[in-house]
Amino acid sequence: MNHQHEPLIKLDKVNLHFGRNHVLQDITTELHKGCITTLIGPNGAGKTTLVRVILGLIKPSSGSIWQEDNLRIGYMPQKLQIDQTFPLTVERFLQTAQTANKETMIATLTDVGAESLFKQSIHNLSGGEMQRILLARALLRNPHLLVLDEPVQGVDINGQLELYNLISRIRDERGCGVLMISHDLHLVMASTDHVICINHHVCCSGHPEHVTNDPSFTELFGIKGSEQLAVYSHHHNHRHDEHGDVIPDPACDHSHNCNHDQGSPHA
Amino acid sequence: MPDFLLFALLGGLGVATVAGPLGSFVVWRRMAYFGDTLAHSALLGIAIGFLLDINLNLAVIFCCVGLALVLVTLQRQRMVATDTLLGIMAHSALSLGLVAVALLEIRVDLMSYLFGDLLAVSQLDLFWIYGGGVGVLVLLKLLWQPLLAITINEELAHVEGVNVPITRLILMLLIAIVIAIAMKIVGLLLITSLLIIPAASARRFATTPEQMAIGAAIVGCLSVMGGLTLSWHFDTPAGPSVVVAALGIFITLYALPAKQQQ
């Protein structure tokens, strides 16, 4: 399994306070080479904040972050607003990532299915096209770790499946690690190796179960969808108060750090 | 051509060449008001220069950079909105400068600092304009990629290994230098126009940042030539004439059919 691959980044008891808000609480996790890790959780759970901490954009209040020497990260932000006054073609935009020759750039664009946009102005792209260009730009850096913040945002459902397939193909071909945020609790791609569910703290993490054979699942999503979607089941043993703090469930001993590694298939 | 006209032309072209690319960054990063605020502090720099008996160009540069640093620090405190802060600083700096000049009883021609005195450009001024200008262009060339990267997105630039605070600081320093050398040409009240009007004009037909930067330099040079011609024939003040010429080019370009506009 991919999990046995070497770690790229290790987080150890990372905490982050914004004023009185304890935004991240004792986050301990690892990201591995060749492994797709998906971060899920409700709105305001700290997913993007955690990614920003991992990227070094925010310094944690406490805890440590280890990363492999010379780790090259390809980052695809949630959205990129480029000022209208800034004249920029797709070609020139890709060049700002890495000095690459034309062939490499076109090959990468072809990889993400956007080769026809090469000469276009960046201001005329649709949401989905922009996502592909951002992905291509991240890939041009030949990253060890690809970090994607809600990569399918603003993309219709067919486009979402396509993009998820693309991401898993990229992982297969390049062997890089992938960390992505998914806003949706239920749509987690089948090829995700590791799911981390956070709500300020790590609620649970583990392997998503492939449930494509489950008849009720197929019924729910249709054949096409069920081949590519998996549901990571959620059996929480605790509830949250309005601050996201854990309210211990008396029936459950919380000291095991809500380990849901054996998450059972959803039926 | 009389010497003073030649000097004026050379000085103006030198400043316009530097102001073009840098003005593009001012437009892209929406720093017009920021540049204006720095320019307003230039008079205070002149007063300080007289007081400490140091070179006035250096005094203006130090004063602009100092103000830029204060601005960045205050911006982080988030006590007031940035545009409010800039408004306070711009007019306070200008007033402080005027008060300081009066208190110190410095005999300066205020009008020439406020609106420029292009026709009084001296050989020494040319030395400053071209020395400073070449320095700015060399730094711009060296830092072009990181500067573009932080203009596209600062977080993306950070992840990709660009030292964002340093790059931003250098951009401010470059703007401060350009303000110091451009003050002679159009005066501190009009400097921002020399930064943004040529850049905004060049945007019309540019499809890459490089085209816009070079285009802005060309439009700036044409404005200087047009302004000087206007000033020569109709005896109008040179600085404002350059700005009027720039405005004319801007309007003409935007009135043209926009076939290539991206």
Q: Please, are residues B205 and B253 in contact by the beta-carbon 8 Å criterion?
A: yes
Test mutation, B25, B27, B160, B201, chain A, max A CBs within 10 A: B160
Q: Please, are residues A128 and A152 in contact by the beta-carbon 8 Å criterion?
A: no
Structure tokens at A131: 């996502």
pLDDT in tens, A43-57: 788 888 999 999 989
- Amino acid making up residue B92: S
Q: Please, are residues A49 and A181 in contact by the beta-carbon 8 Å criterion?
A: no
Q: Please, are residues A90 and A122 in contact by the beta-carbon 8 Å criterion?
A: yes
Nearest CA in chain A to B200: A85
Among the partner-chain residues B30, B156, B207, the one whose CB lies closest to the CB of A87 is B207
Q: Is 0.90 exceeded by the ipTM?
A: no
- Residue A121 touches partner B, C-beta closer than 8 Å: yes
Residue B53 φ/ψ region, left for φ over 0, alpha for ψ in the -120 to 50 degree band, beta for the rest = left
pLDDT score, position A21: 86
pLDDT score, position B118: 86
Test mutation, A48, A88, A93, A148, chain B, max B CBs within 10 A: A88
pLDDT score, position B234: 94
pLDDT score, position B223: 96
CA distance A215 to A194: 24
Backbone angles phi, psi at A225, to 5 degrees: -65, -40
CA distance A33 to A179: 10
Among the listed residues A203, A174, A210, A172, the one whose alpha carbon sits nearest the alpha carbon of residue A189: A210
Q: Which residues of A touch B27 (CB under 8 A)?
A: 85
CA distance, residue B119 to nearest chain A CA (Å):
33
DSSP class of A251: T
- Amino acid making up residue B192: T
Among the partner-chain residues B27, B145, B207, the one whose CB lies closest to the CB of A121 is B207
CA distance A126 to A113: 14
CA distances (Å), origin A162, targets A74, A156, A228, A245: 20, 10, 10, 36
**Taking 80 as the threshold, does the pLDDT of residue B97 lie above it?**
yes
CA distance, residue B219 to nearest chain A CA (Å):
17
CA distance B44 to B102: 11
Instruction: Say which range, A152-156, B209-213, B240-244, has the weakest mean pLDDT.
Output: A152-156
Among the partner-chain residues A80, A93, A121, the one whose CB lies closest to the CB of B262 is A121
- Residue A21 touches partner B, C-beta closer than 8 Å: no
Test mutation, A78, A85, A134, A147, chain B, max B CBs within 10 A: A85
Q: Which residues of A touch B159 (CB under 8 A)?
A: 55-57, 73, 75, 147
Listed by number, the residues of chain B in 128-187 with a beta carbon closer than 8 Å to a beta carbon of chain A are: 145, 148-149, 151-153, 155-156, 158-160
pLDDT score, position A236: 53
Among the partner-chain residues B29, B156, B211, the one whose CB lies closest to the CB of A87 is B211
Listed by number, the residues of chain A in 130-169 with a beta carbon closer than 8 Å to a beta carbon of chain B are: 141, 147
Q: At what angle do helices B191-203 and B209-234 cross, to 10 degrees?
A: 130
Residues of chain A with pLDDT under 50: 1-4, 210-235, 248-267
Among the partner-chain residues B156, B160, B206, the one whose CB lies closest to the CB of A87 is B206
Element (H, E) at B115: helix B110-115
CA distance, residue A83 to nearest chain B CA (Å):
7
Place B247 in a pLDDT band, splitting at 50, 70 and 90.
very high
Determine whether the interchain pair B155/A89 forms a contact, defined as Cβ–Cβ distance below 8 Å: no
pLDDT score, position A237: 53
pLDDT score, position B174: 92
CA distance A74 to B160: 8
- Residue B195 touches partner A, C-beta closer than 8 Å: no
Listed by number, the residues of chain A in 44-83 with a beta carbon closer than 8 Å to a beta carbon of chain B are: 52, 55-57, 73, 75, 77, 80, 82-83
For range B64-79, the mean pLDDT? 84
CA distance A255 to A237: 11
Determine whether the interchain pair A85/B203 forms a contact, defined as Cβ–Cβ distance below 8 Å: yes
Among the listed residues B19, B24, B15, the one whose alpha carbon sits nearest the alpha carbon of residue B210: B24
Determine whether the interchain pair B160/A97 forms a contact, defined as Cβ–Cβ distance below 8 Å: yes
pLDDT score, position A184: 61
Q: Please, are residues A128 and A154 in contact by the beta-carbon 8 Å criterion?
A: yes
pTM (predicted TM-score): 0.82
pLDDT in tens, A128-178: 888 889 999 999 988 999 999 888 777 777 777 778 888 888 888 888 999
